Amino acid sequence: MTLLELDGVSVHYGRIQAVSELTLKVEEGEVVALIGANGAGKSTSMRAISGIRPLSAGRITFAGEDITKLRADLRVVRGISQVPEGRGVFPGMTVAENLDMGAYARKDRKNLQPDLDRVFDLFPRLAERRNQAGGTLSGGEQQMLAMGRALMAKPRLLLLDEPSMGLAPQFIQQIFRIVTEINKQGTTVLLVEQNAQQALTRAHRAYVLETGRITKTGTGRELLADSAIKEAYLGVA
Ligand code: ATP
């Protein structure tokens, strides 16, 4: 079943067109990656899907429903949860309070314990630091906290914007392993990354975005083997 569909989506910032006629699909159960250079329009695409940025053209469908004009907070209720670029951890709140914030849109807020257990299971480090202020965590731990917070909304679709950005190599590996684990537990993932190697290794399928347009698509494996991709994104001539 197709969970997310973008059809001819364009997004502008004033006169600047950041995304041009983007068409893509994410099937339920998949990990899909959107790769591309700096400024290609990856973050803007994510903002359009989560509803933070309005479209200037096109349509977005989620689980069969046209959500093009739906408010961002209602998209969370529908099951779309975004981990923004830069993470957006609340620095003055504890880890536990940050996680609690992730569940704000849920109607079944009475019993969050199983979900909290799941997050602490995926990220034992967060369990150890549950009473520590978010702002005192390392970059990798803040990424974990942002992902854990997004999971507390019980999303059907998790949007990850550059989860590996600014992280030490051992954290990068760990974050991507956890992405695979989250997906195995039943959450569909759309991932934006500059780390094309990791993203393509983990993704079932991927789209390449160049100056706001999709220029290539295929399975992660196909794109990893593609010589033009190797040259442009994988640092292999
Ligand atoms: P990065 O990895 O640098 O975030 P990206 O692929 O996510 O790159 P976007 O951030 O989506 O790219 O940017 C796409 C284009 O839109 C760029 O030309 C960028 O300069 C422009 N842009 C992004 N945000 C804004 C904004 N708030 N106002 C004006 N232009 C913007």
Q: Whose C-alpha lies nearest to ligand 1, atom 19?
A: 39
- Among 79, 128, 119, residue whose Cα is nearest residue 99: 119
The three-class DSSP label of residue 159 is: strand
Residue range 91-149, pLDDT digits in tens: 999 999 999 999 887 777 778 899 999 999 999 999 999 999 999 999 889 999 999 99
208: β partners:
35, 216
Is the C-beta atom of 16 inside 6 A of ligand 1?
A: yes
Query: What was the pLDDT predicted at 148?
Result: 95
CA of 217 to the centre of ligand 1 (A): 21
Question: From the CA atom positions of the chain, what is the Rg in Å?
Answer: 17
Is the C-beta atom of 86 inside 6 A of ligand 1?
A: no
Query: 208: which 2 tokens?
Result: 């390449």
Cβ neighbours around 225 below 10 Å, total: 12
Atom of ligand 1 nearest to the CA of 45: 11
Is the C-beta atom of 81 inside 6 A of ligand 1?
A: no
CA of 55 to the centre of ligand 1 (A): 15
Is the C-beta atom of 36 inside 6 A of ligand 1?
A: yes
ipTM summary value: 0.92
Q: What is the mean pLDDT of residues 15-32?
A: 96
Residue range 43-76, pLDDT digits in tens: 999 999 999 999 999 999 999 999 999 999 999 9
* DSSP symbol at 94: B
Give strand ranges (E) for the chain.
Answer: 2-13, 16-27, 31-35, 57-62, 65-66, 80-83, 157-161, 188-193, 205-210, 213-219
Q: Whose C-alpha lies nearest to ligand 1, atom 18?
A: 39
Model's pTM, two decimal places? 0.93
Terminal C-alpha separation, the chain: 38
Spatial separation of the C-alpha atoms in residues 181 and 178, rounded to whole Å? 5
Q: Whose C-alpha lies nearest to ligand 1, atom 25?
A: 13
Secondary-structure breakdown of the chain: helix, strand, coil percentages, each rounded to the nearest 5: 40, 30, 35
Query: 90: which 2 tokens?
Result: 């609340």
CA of 225 to the centre of ligand 1 (A): 28
